[in-house]
Structure 1
Amino acid sequence: MSDDLASRLREQGLRLTPQRQLILRAVEELRHATPDEVLCHVREQVSSVNASTVYRTLEVLEELGLVRHTHLSDRAPTYHSTLEHEHVHVVCRRCQKVRSYGPELVAPLVAALAADGFTMDVGHLAVFGECTDCAPDPQTDAT
């Protein structure tokens, strides 16, 4: 990925720095991570990286199309690499577990919105609810 990162940065007149490489690698390794989680991961390797560097770099990487963000909680956005296939995020409100599903899960919704002249950003979509591990058991609640 560093060749792609380097070429995209050069196209924008920017340099490939060790911090940018570390931050992109952290997003790829963590798969879904907030800026604070990226910072902690990067600091395991280089303690001098600060939060503002992480936030600025994530913005640059997103502008370059190398990472995307979505909101998986009411906290900071969560970033993931664009190397992963496009996916819908499904989040359990109780245990916070995040599952990823292919875009075919929402294909009828995408098609309906497209028919109405709207293009949906599937990779930014997060659906909230309860997973089967956290949902109340209807048999025990019926008594």
Structure 2
Amino acid sequence: MAATDPLGALVRSRGLRLTAPRRRVLGVLARGEHLTPEVLTHLVGRDGGAELPPSTIYRTLQSLEDVGIVTHTHLDHGPPTYHLARPHGHLHLVCRSCKAVLEVEVQRADPLVAALRQETGFRADPTHMAIHGHCASCSASEGDR
């Protein structure tokens, strides 16, 4: 990640130094995948740099999440998955059959969020969860469930 890279500038603009671990973690997350810390540790270890212990990966993820550069969600009952944050968030749709993860704009949940707030006073954050079901391809091949 070059010094003029937008992610590097973002890290510095949020008051953090662009350390080697942060640079390497962001380099992997910039691919756009949703990764568990374990998978992220493995991928960072394959970049040719010195091995980073899992504790460093976790601390790096936490510091980047604290300033809003990285976010996590729970796609299933396993460990959280991390990815770069977007300015407006998104919803995660997880196919129970093929395990594909689709992303849709968070505004799709506005009617549900508004109804929950009106009925219960609860302020829901739908970006932290995943909605499970079947993608279009699996629905077509398995018949509508």
TM-score range, shorter chain: 0.7 to 0.9
**Consecutive aligned runs of 4 or more in structure 1 exceeding 3 Å deviation:** none
Q: 1:52 pairs with 18, 35, 55, which one? A: 55
1:5 counterpart residue number: 11
2:127 is matched with which residue: 118, 123, 126? 123
1:61-140 to structure 2, matched below 5 A, reads: 61-83=64-86, 85-115=88-118, 116-135=120-139, 136-137=142-143
The separation in 2 between residues aligned to 1:84 and 1:36, in whole angstroms, is 26
* 2:76 aligned counterpart, secondary structure: coil
Over the matched positions of the two proteins, sequence identity in percent amounts to 38
Output the CA distance in 1 between the equivalents of 2:88 and 2:34: 13
1:118 alignment partner AA: F
Task: In structure 1, give the amino acid aligned to 2:82.
Answer: Y
Residues 32-41 or 114-123, more deviating: 114-123
Structure 1: segments with no counterpart, 5+ residues: 139-143
Matching residue within 31, 35, 52 for 2:37: 35
Deviation, 1:85, is: 4.2
Counterpart code for 1:128 = H
C-alpha separation in 1, matches of 2:44 and 2:131: 29
Q: Which string of whole-angstrom CA distances, capped at 9 and with x for unpartnered residues, describes residues 70-96 of structure 1?
A: 101222101111136411100011211
| Number of equivalenced pairs | 134
Secondary structure at the aligned position of 2:136 is classed as: coil
Separation in 1 of the partners of 2:129 and 2:91?
6
Q: TM-score, normalised by structure 2?
A: 0.80
CA distance in 1, matches of 2:117, 2:51: 47
Q: Which segment drifts farther, 74-83 or 129-138?
A: 129-138
Using the TM superposition, give the Cα deviation of residue 47 of structure 1 relative to its aligned residue in structure 2, in angstroms: 4.3
Q: Which moved further from structure 2: 38-47 or 68-77?
A: 38-47
Query: 1:40 Cα deviation (Å)?
Result: 2.2
User: Take 1:6 and 1:28, find their aligned partners in 2: how far apart are those partners?
Assistant: 17
